[in-house]
Amino acid sequence: MADLDKARMDVSRLEDLVREGAVAKARLDQAKSSLADAEDDAVLKRTLFGHLSVQDLTNDQTAAMVAAARRRLERLQPRLETMEKMVADGVMARSELAPVLDELDIRRRTLELAESRARTFKELLDMVESEQEAAARAADDRAAANAPPQWRAAEKFEGSGSFRLAMLRGIEDAYKRKFERELPISALGMTELHRSLGFDHRDRVDVALAPDTAEGLWLRRFLEQNRIPYFAFRSFVRGQATSPHIHIGPPSLRLPRFSSVAGAP
């Protein structure tokens, strides 16, 4: 940090002298270049030559590291070109180029090292991201394996294949004991709605319970335990159901004048 502080002090002092006309602006430009060098060197000491491992770096630090190394290399190029021209013009001995060429080689190797570390960081980051993606895919696969069956508008349980209205009393009594209210029957046997739809709903019962509510699930389990066939409608189904409900009994038969159309609940 001492070099950086000294470079800043030199720039500040020369700015004052340039304003007073005591020093040429070229001296200030050179000092600013030295300050920029010192700032970039501080970045490299912290990221490339410091105690940070590749795992400790961030994207921003990696980008700053490579950019600082590249600026230090590019900053020396004009100086070398100027000195080479002076050597060609016979103003400077070629031996005086040696320290600058050595420094240029150091800065070139520093850039290569920074780029190498940046590639290693990128490879490590890609590996971590790949592992995270693999873990996410595995989690999705586990979730899919444990997920409930795909949602369907209607489900069918065939049971014994038969149902009689005389069996309804046992269902009603069990439901009332469980929920302390009457079974919400919406259609008992034949109704005008079923007749208009062309279905013979005799010996069938519709219950106004959504299939996946607590009461709907209880009723479905009760029917399955007693081998009673049913249809569970979760939504409107054209030609079969106007709203969510549970149809107790086998599919409704088609009335004679609708016999050309397939049967449905």
DSSP string, 150-161: PP-SEEEE-TTS
Q: Which residues are CB-contacts of 121 (< 8 A; sequence separation ≥ 6)?
A: 54, 57, 62
Helices 214-225 and 168-179 meet at what angle, rounded to 10? Answer: 140
pTM over 0.85: no
Characterize the bridge pairing of strands 154-157 and 230-233: antiparallel
Q: How far apart are CA 108 and CA 173, in angstroms?
A: 90
- Per the CB < 8 A criterion, the answer to whether 230 and 222 are in contact is no
- Per the CB < 8 A criterion, the answer to whether 251 and 234 are in contact is no
* 209-257 residue pLDDT tens: 999 999 999 999 999 999 999 988 887 666 555 678 899 998 877 766 5
Which of the residue ranges 46-50, 154-158, 233-237 would you say has the lowest mean pLDDT?
233-237
Of 31, 43, 51, the residue nearest 72 (C-alpha) = 43
The pLDDT of residue 240 is: 57
Residue 258 pLDDT class (50, 70, 90 cuts): very low
* Residue 12: strand, helix, or coil: helix
The pLDDT of residue 260 is: 43
Q: How far apart are CA 38 and CA 146, in angstroms?
A: 59
Of 257, 201, 204, the residue nearest 230 (C-alpha) = 204
